[in-house]
């Protein structure tokens, strides 16, 4: 989860920095307005950081991570909206969505494994 926080933090820095260092306007396509205007990355970072500190509540962690799939899914739909598929696949920011989906999936599977280990230890007692 911390890797996902770092990735979103780098996006915030690269978009909000000076013109020389910021990402070009063509990156993220139509999804760019959500990053700039609605603070998508900042909210994503905040939700994930809160989720990290909920380590005692595995069920709530899983629910939050599954809910994070929803904005990412709509983000990728908006990413391909009103652009040709070829130009969308050429956009390097597509990696962000795939990497986010992958990291959330890995996190969910790790939490489920931890939960099963805890349940097995409870049975042994």
Residue 69's pLDDT is what? 87
Residue 66: the pLDDT is: 92
CA–CA dist 67, 20 (Å, integer): 35
pLDDT (0 to 100) of residue 60: 92
Cβ neighbour number for residue 38 with a 10 Å cutoff: 11
Below-70 pLDDT ranges, the chain: 1, 8-39, 124-125
| Whole-number pLDDT of residue 61 | 92
Residue 74: its pLDDT value, please?
A: 82
Residue with tokens 């595995």: 58
pLDDT of the residue at 96 = 81
Residue boundaries of the structural domains of the chain: 2-124
Task: Give the integer Cα–Cα distance in Å for 43 and 25.
Answer: 21
**Predicted structure pTM score:** 0.72
3-state secondary structure of 26: coil
């Amino acid at each position: 989860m911390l890797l996902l926080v770092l990735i979103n933090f780098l996006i915030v820095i690269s978009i909000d920095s000076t013109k020389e260092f910021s990402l070009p306007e063509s990156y993220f396509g139509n999804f760019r307005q959500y990053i700039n205007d609605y603070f998508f990355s900042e909210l994503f970072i905040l939700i994930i950081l809160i989720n990290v500190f909920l380590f005692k509540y595995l069920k709530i962690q899983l629910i939050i991570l599954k809910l994070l799939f929803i904005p990412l899914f709509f983000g990728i739909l908006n990413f391909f909206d009103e652009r040709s598929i070829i130009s969308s696949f050429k956009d390097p920011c597509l990696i962000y969505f795939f990497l986010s989906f992958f990291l959330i999936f890995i996190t969910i599977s790790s939490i489920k494994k931890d939960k099963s280990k805890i349940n097995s230890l409870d049975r042994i007692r």
